[in-house]
Structure 1
Amino acid sequence: AIFLNLSQDHLDRYGGMTEYKKAKLRIFENQKDSDCAVLDYDDSAIRKLSESIKSRVFYFSVNQKVKGSYLSGEKLFVDFGNGAEEVCRKKDINLRGTHNLKNVLAAALAAKLINREINVVAPLKNFLGLRHRFEFITEKEGVSFIDDSKSTTVDSTLKALESFRGGRVVLIAGGRDKGSDYSLLLNQIKKIKYFILIGEASEKIRMAVSGLDIPIEEALTIREAVLLSKKAARKGDSVLLSPMCSSFDMFKNYRERGEVFRKAVFDVSSICKN
């Protein structure tokens, strides 16, 4: 059982973080002593979960050597206590961001716990990421367009923002609120140059980030949001659809929202070219 992270989500259905955490911890409920639990060592709250887990605990970390998997320099290793084994080099991973590096460490550790002889290098080299999860769509006039429609929490949007190393971000966000605290965006606010808000949560997000001297506009449709983003972005910037909300106020699901965004990007680019 792998416990990757704990952040605000589904608070529209749960009474608060305590109740939500209790629900997530049920993943360990039926484990036996011989089973394995994989935890993020770098998160002290998650590391502390080991005190209440009856199965064997292994960790993943990007900061230090642990019993499990870890990053050391430019290499990823697994170590079960009888000597470290190199898994791959950091450059072998095609995914951007520290959060994806942690995902790789957790996945590699789980695979090695199931079969110590398995070679994970080829799958890691060939895996380009999931659709609608920080997915690069295209670059137009030096502006990158990225579909992160799968990001339905503030934490996942923060992780997306952390992944940018240059330029600034025009953020398209909003949808159906899940009881989230959007003021947490302040942790990455320097990356954002422009807000374009959509959906039912627009006003709540606006209230959380207002007064920051960052332009905020609202759009009734994804297409309108893309048109506004095209005007706001400059060469070197990125337009990021990372809603922080569910999609059910405007779409069937996050996949439809992402596909509509993709289509709008190419349609608007074609219009502007003509």
Structure 2
Amino acid sequence: MPLDYETLKHLSPEELRRLIRAGRYTGHTAGLGDGVLQANLAILPASVALDFMRFCQRNPKPCPLAGVSETGDPFMRTMGARIDIRTDVPAYNIYRDGAYSESVTDIVDLWAQDMVAFAIGCSFTFEHALAQVGVKLWHIEHNTTVPMFRSAIETIPAGPFGGKMVVSMRNIPAAHLDLVIETSRKFPLAHGAPVHWGDPAEIGIRDANRPDWGDPAPCPEGHIPVFWACGVTPQVAIERAALPLVITHKPGHMLVTDIPEAAENPVLQPS
């Protein structure tokens, strides 16, 4: 039986991961996992893990580091109960020699004992807070993936990692702009306040109707395009690093954790 999106919204994080692990849900996670942190994913060889951690530390807006696995251990023990990073994300992107290769729904056969998994906070988390203060988001209302773009904003490099910042866009009613900025600012592990609002061309986006990832979203009269730093940024950095094999989440298809999405600084606890 097909899974209804409205039903999925009411599942606990563990119930949702169980469906994902079984291959029963492979879609986007926007609007799901109410009350918990969602996370982007990057899985790299241990030989470059410290460089990647430095990259995250130097670029906390697009790469707010929420969790790191032990080398060779696929269980994200600080992120929730029995999270197996090989199976518990709806879809993964595979990069070989810096180029996108394919998308898959589990990485059991690709996992190796020298791999380290990084979980990076996601803006889907603060979307629940926006809903609570009455701000509706088009991609959630229409069950699509938020639009994401390569911007002209440079990241601070570390080792082989660097490149442009990726941003996600939500078109916000002008009357709600201040509320949206202040609400998202309270979630530093979910990218915090936006990095830009207004003319997309000012940050190097030529056509806001043609996202690099995700689905287009209309900008009705009286709305303002608002851009947040995005956890897809590491995928651009990974392309530049040109490593033999790197695994990420498929944009929009996040790890739903058990960490409460409390504002400010949520405490990460081992499971």
**TM-score > 0.5 by shorter chain:** no
Instruction: Calculate the TM-score normalised by the size of structure 1.
Output: 0.24
Larger of the two Rg values belongs to structure: 1
Higher RCO (CA 8 Å, separation ≥ 6 residues): 2
Instruction: Calculate the TM-score normalised by the size of structure 2.
Output: 0.25
